[in-house]
Every structure is written in structure tokens, then in C-alpha cells.
Amino acid sequence: MQIAVSGGKGGTGKSTVATNLAVALRKLGVKLTLADLDVEAPNDHILLGVELANEEPVNQFMPRFDYSKCTKCRKCAEVCEEHAIITMRDGTPFLMPTLCSGCRACEIVCPVPGAILEAFRTIGHTYVTPTPYGFTLVTGRLREGEERSMPLVVEARKRAEKVREGLLMVDTAAGTGNTVSKAIEGSKLLIAVTEPTPLGIHDTELILELGRLMGIPTWVVVNRADLGDIEKVRALAEKYGAQIVAEIPYSENIVKSYVEGKPIALTDYPEAEIFKGLADRVAEFIGGDE
Amino acid sequence: MQIAIASGKGGVGKSTITASLLYLLKDEYSFVAVDADAEAPNLGLLLGVTKWDEEREHLGAKVARINTESCIRCGICYERCPYGCIYIDDEGNYVVNELTCEGCNVCGLVCPVGGTISLEEVRSGVIQKATTKYGFPLISAQLDVGKPESGKLVTDEKEWAKKLMEEKGLEHMIVDSAAGIGCQVIASLGGADVAILIAEPTPASLSDVQRAYKVVQHFREPAYLIINKADINPDFNGLEKWAEREGIPILGRIPYDRAIPESMSMLKPVVEAFPDSKASRAIEGIAETIKEELLG
Ligand code: SF4
Ligand code: SF4
Ligand code: SF4
Ligand code: SF4
């Protein structure tokens, strides 16, 4: 089974919840793999205090033109939805690599065999990192200067599928764009981490809407629950048929554990209980499935 | 002059600080503010915007659609979609998942039955313009749920801002850029004269801001750093060390202050809500430096 942890905006504590929930679930005996699919700013390894390991490049197709064969028909440029191919006045195509999404549409339409050759560039990396907590962390990391995170999300998911043991838990990027839906896709449960502040509430609605559109049952974890008007989150959750499953108060202990890269779920602080409670509910939800 | 404010990831106080800086600069300078965090815009809220003067739907995102009538269910599109966005529904129909489709049209090119797959232009979001109660205009965007191309949305937003600068004779554009390092951030930073990076002293924030800085370097823009919640982690000096190594001047340090979350729940810049708080005084100092060093 797969479940996802997401949240409309950045900085709500999504990664804190994902990493601590993973640790707490593992303590309950649930086998799992955690996938950090926030490829533009992956941080789960930092919160878990581990160094990324087993790096593999994500190589993406890009066209290379064999100008001795190319007839300058411009078909490749016309079909490229990313406008990654520009043509000179006489029709000679040129590639602007960072715009290329690697979709191969140009290759498909080129009428001259061999005019488009396969070239690749590394747009990021995936990692498979053992953690001292009894589960493996899979991470996707986009290379700086690369624009498109979708291919990285897809590749990191694939690698996570390959190495997964038991439950697959994904941690997504902030926002509600299509790379977030790609990360969430296939999940049986969406855990939305929100904040009861006016700003957080606006974004909560967006993530609940995404859950609804994708038809995934959604739970809400309210972080920094004492810093705003939780009733508003309750009302929104009700509107979307979602339930609030945990409330985490603003806590210096959590900040400290975050800063030190030591999951709070492993400590004796009272906050650890919240994650244990959440883990119990998740374990119950997934039942004997894993 | 175009100033982009970035952090690499949300949650480090970028928008609060931006709102405060805008508040402090508004009397002496003319500018347009741009909220380029199209997936979670909040500058409008923080600046008390309740109504937008003008709204433009943003078309241009494309998604594929399959006509189930003519589809022969050969599965070629399913195999060839580079991002796995085609699935088979309960009735055995091939269907595009519009919430993940990137609109590349590979499926349309490989489908053997002409006209079965069409690429349709859909709304990807909305761009809005408001006049804030502080007098300066704000342009903001909101990406629709599950849509691609947030970068293009930001590019269009900035174009609108540029036009507004010309029409109204405004001197500056101040862009609150998106989280991450992908297309939205690249669109936010592209064309800026200066980047101001905001980070907090945690390993996670350091890692995020380092990645954002690499994007800044692509554009060869000078960068400055603001350290927020500067006192939450006294044992950590990674940010300072990194800034020194890279030659990034530090514009200032803002201490952790409950006045900030409180001002946020009041939907006001902290320098307006609690001008005497220690955070506000630090931000004022930073605004002075920005005036002297950047805006002249
Ligand atoms: S692979 Fe796709 S995005 Fe890249 S140049 Fe070809 S058509 Fe354009
Ligand atoms: S489609 Fe092929 S032959 Fe035509 S311009 Fe492109 S590379 Fe050259
Ligand atoms: S347009 Fe591209 S991403 Fe969308 S379904 Fe077709 S092949 Fe997949
Ligand atoms: S390639 Fe065309 S005909 Fe074949 S399954 Fe896809 S839509 Fe149907």
C-alpha cells in the first residue's frame, strides 16, 4: 500500500510529520519505505540525520542533431511543446537543453532516420539511504538550474517501488501543482499537514481539493495548532469530508529535534506521544495489508 | 531595478519579511510587488488585499484527452507516455490523468488512430492585480490544483508587472519568489538585478538556500543574505560560514520573535503591527541597508 504526506504550503512541517510518522510506524513493527519526493528541496535525510547514499543519476533524453542527415524540415521544432528547439532562418534546428523535457516527441516525428540521435543529460539524482531507524529512505533531488521536476518525481517513485519493503510512504513537495499530484498518485490515504493560521487555511483548502479531485481519503494533521484558529480548519475539513487526526502544538522540543536531525518520535518528550497516536491510526488504517 | 527574494523552500519567513520590507520602502520608492509563489501565494493576504482590481485567466497549459469512441484500446499511448499519465479505467477505457499530464503530446503522436487524442488548452490558473492599501500595486498568481506550467504563469505575471511599471512610471519590481528551485523559481529569478536570499540557521534551510543560490549563480546575479530566526540555534554557524565562503554579504539578522506569527494572524506586516518589537527593529535596519546599498 502507499500513503502520502502533503500540505498546501511550504514550511508547515510536512517533512517533520513524514519522518516522525515513519519512525513511529516502524516502532510499531510496520515495515515501510519512505520516499522524499520534494525533489526541489528534499530534506527528510537532514531531519533523519543521515547522509544521502547510493547515488544514481537520472539521465534524461535530449535530441542531438546529425546535421549531415537533417533536411531542415523544422518538424521537430514545430512539435516541441516546450519550444526547446529553435530553428535558424534556413531551418537548422538547435536545442536549448534546459527547456527540453525529454519527452521524445521530436524523435517520433523526425522523418529522417538518424537525423536525431540520442543524447542524455543528468537532470538530478536519486538516492537510496539506509537509516538507523529500520527503514530505507529514497530521495529524488533535482539538479540546480534544471526547470522540470516531473521526471525526477517519476524516477524517484520508480526507484522507491523497486526497493520498497512493505508500506510506501511518500513525502511530497509544497503546493498543489501536477508534480504533487504525481507524487500522491496511487496513494490510499493522503495526510495533509496544515496550520491554523490565515495563510495556512487558504492552502489547506487547496490540498483538500486535490485530495477530493484524486478521490483519496484525506486526514488532516494540524501543526502549530495553538497558533491560530483551529475551528476554521475543522470547518474546512468537514466541508471536504476529511477528519482531523492529530493536533501538534507549537513546541520548542520539536524545533530542537528538527534542528538537530533527531526525530522527536524517539524521545521521551510528550510530543512523541502525538506521533505514536498518529502511527496507531495509520497502522489501523492499513490493517494487515503490510 | 528588479529584486527577487528567494529562500529555496517555504517556511523560513520569506513572505513576512518581504511584506515588511515593502511596507518600509513604500514611502520613498515607487514599485510593483509580485507574488511569484503561484502554488501558495500569500503576499496578498499579508498585505490585507480583500479585492482584486483585475483578474486574468491564464490559459496555455495543455493536457491530452482521449476520445473513447474512436480509441481501439491498443495501449500504445499508455506505454509511451513519458510520465505514466495514462491509465485504464474500470470499463477498460484508456484515460489521461489530467492532474498529472505534462501536455507533451507524445501520446497524440504515437496513437495510430488519427484524431483520437487531442491536446487541449486548459486554464492553468489566474493572475490578479490589486492596489494595496499602502498604495503600491501587487500582482499575484494562483496555479489551479493539479496543473503544470507554474513557471509560465510566473513569467506572464512578471510581464504584466513590467507593463505596469511602464504605464505608471514605477522604478522597481520586487518579486517574492516561489519555494523550490524549479521552473517557478527560475522564472522568478530570471531577469532580476539582485537576489535577496532568506534562510534560518538550520541544516535544512542551509541546504535549500544553497540550492537556490546555485540558480542565482546561473543568472550571474549578485546575492545578499538575510538570516531569520537568527537566535534559534546558537550552535549552528553554517549559514555564516557559507556566506563568507561565497562572498555573500549579510544584510541583517532577525531574531526569533512571537510578534511575527502574531502579526501574521492579524494579516499585517510585523513592522506595522508591532513596530517596537525586536524583529521589527531588525527588519528596519535591513531596509536601511537595502536603501543605501541597492536602491541608492
Ligand atoms: S525531447 Fe521533447 S522537449 Fe525535448 S526537444 Fe524533443 S520534443 Fe522538445
Ligand atoms: S525533424 Fe529531423 S530532419 Fe526535420 S529539422 Fe528536425 S532533425 Fe532535421
Ligand atoms: S500529453 Fe504527454 S504527459 Fe500527457 S498523457 Fe500524453 S504523453 Fe502523457
Ligand atoms: S494509442 Fe490511441 S487508440 Fe491506442 S489506446 Fe491510446 S488512444 Fe486508444
| Cα–Cα nearest to A182, from A43, A39, A66, A44 | A39
Buried/exposed A150-163: b ≥16 CB within 10 Å, e otherwise: bbbbbbbbebbeee
Residue A163, pLDDT score: 96
Cross-chain residue pair A258–B202, CB shorter than 8 Å: yes
Residue A20, pLDDT score: 94
Residue among A104, A182, A209 whose CB faces B106 most closely = A104
Residue A138, pLDDT score: 98
Pairing of the two strands A116-130 and A56-65? antiparallel
Which residue is it, cell 494487515? A288
Residue A82, pLDDT score: 87
| Cα–Cα nearest to B176, from B149, B147, B140 | B140
From CA A43, how far away is CA A40, in angstroms rounded? 10
Indicate the DSSP class of residue A287: G
Residues on chain A touching B202 (C-beta within 8 angstroms): 258-259
From CA B21, how far away is CA B8, in angstroms rounded? 19
Cross-chain residue pair B103–A81, CB shorter than 8 Å: yes
Mutation to test the B interface, candidates A51, A81, A144, A184, most B Cβ within 10 Å: A144
Mutation to test the A interface, candidates B100, B119, B184, B270, most A Cβ within 10 Å: B100
DSSP code per residue over B26-40: TTT--EEEEE--TTS
Residue among A154, A175, A213 whose CB faces B99 most closely = A213
In ligand 3, which atom is closest to the CA atom of B84?
8
How many residues does this entry show for chain B?
296
CA–centroid distance, residue B113 to ligand 4 (Å)? 7
B119 Cβ contact partners less than 8 Å away, ≥ 6 residues apart: A81, B62, B63, B64, B65, B103, B105, B108
Q: How far from the centroid of its chain's Cα atoms is residue A52's Cα?
A: 16
Which residue is it, cell 533523519? A48
Residue A9, pLDDT score: 66
Residue B258, pLDDT score: 87
From CA A182, how far away is CA B218, in angstroms rounded? 28
Does the ipTM surpass 0.90?
no
Residues with CB under 6 A from ligand 2: A 65, 70-76, 93, 110, 112, 115-116
Indicate the DSSP class of residue A95: E
Which ligand approaches the C-alpha of residue A106 most closely? Answer: 1
pTM value surpassing 0.90 = no
Pairing of the two strands B2-6 and B194-199? parallel
DSSP code per residue over B51-82: --SEEEEE--EEEEEE-TTT-----HHHHH-T
Residues of chain B above pLDDT 90, percent: 70
Examine the pLDDT at B4 and tell me if it is beyond 70: yes
From CA A262, how far away is CA B121, in angstroms rounded? 47
Which position has the higher pLDDT, B97 or A270? B97
pLDDT band at B96 (very low <50, low <70, confident <90, very high): very high
Is the minimum CB–CB distance between B249 and chain A shorter than 8 Å?
A: no
Tell me what the mean pLDDT of segment B121-125 comes to: 89
What are φ and ψ of residue A247, in 5° steps? Answer: -125, 125
CA–centroid distance, residue B98 to ligand 3 (Å)? 9
CA–centroid distance, residue B49 to ligand 1 (Å)? 41
The answer to whether residues B14 and B175 touch, using CB atoms and an 8 Å cutoff, is: no
Cross-chain residue pair B82–A185, CB shorter than 8 Å: no
Which chain A residue shows the shortest CA-CA distance from B260?
A: A227
pLDDT band at B176 (very low <50, low <70, confident <90, very high): very high
What are φ and ψ of residue B190, in 5° steps? Answer: -60, 125
The answer to whether residues B119 and B108 touch, using CB atoms and an 8 Å cutoff, is: yes
Pairing of the two strands B31-35 and B117-122? unpaired
Residue A251, pLDDT score: 80
Which ligand approaches the C-alpha of residue A105 most closely? Answer: 1
Residue A6, pLDDT score: 92
| Cα–Cα nearest to B32, from B150, B127, B129 | B129
How crowded is the C-beta side of A210, counted as CA atoms within 13 Å? 37
Atom 1 of ligand 4: nearest residue by CA position? B111
A-B CB pairs within 8 A amount to 180
Which ligand approaches the C-alpha of residue A95 most closely? Answer: 1
Residue A136, pLDDT score: 97
From CA A247, how far away is CA A193, in angstroms rounded? 10
Is the minimum CB–CB distance between B104 and chain A shorter than 8 Å?
A: yes
From CA B169, how far away is CA B142, in angstroms rounded? 26
For chain B, positions 194-233, list CB contacts with chain A under 8 A. 202-204, 207-208, 211, 214-215, 218, 232-233
The answer to whether residues A107 and A32 touch, using CB atoms and an 8 Å cutoff, is: no
Residues of chain A with pLDDT under 50: none
Tell me what the mean pLDDT of segment B152-160 comes to: 91
Instruction: State whether the beta carbon of B66 lies less than 6 angstroms from ligand 4.
Output: yes
Shortest Cα–Cα distance, B11 to chain A (Å)? 3
Residues on chain B touching A154 (C-beta within 8 angstroms): 82-84
Residue A288, pLDDT score: 62
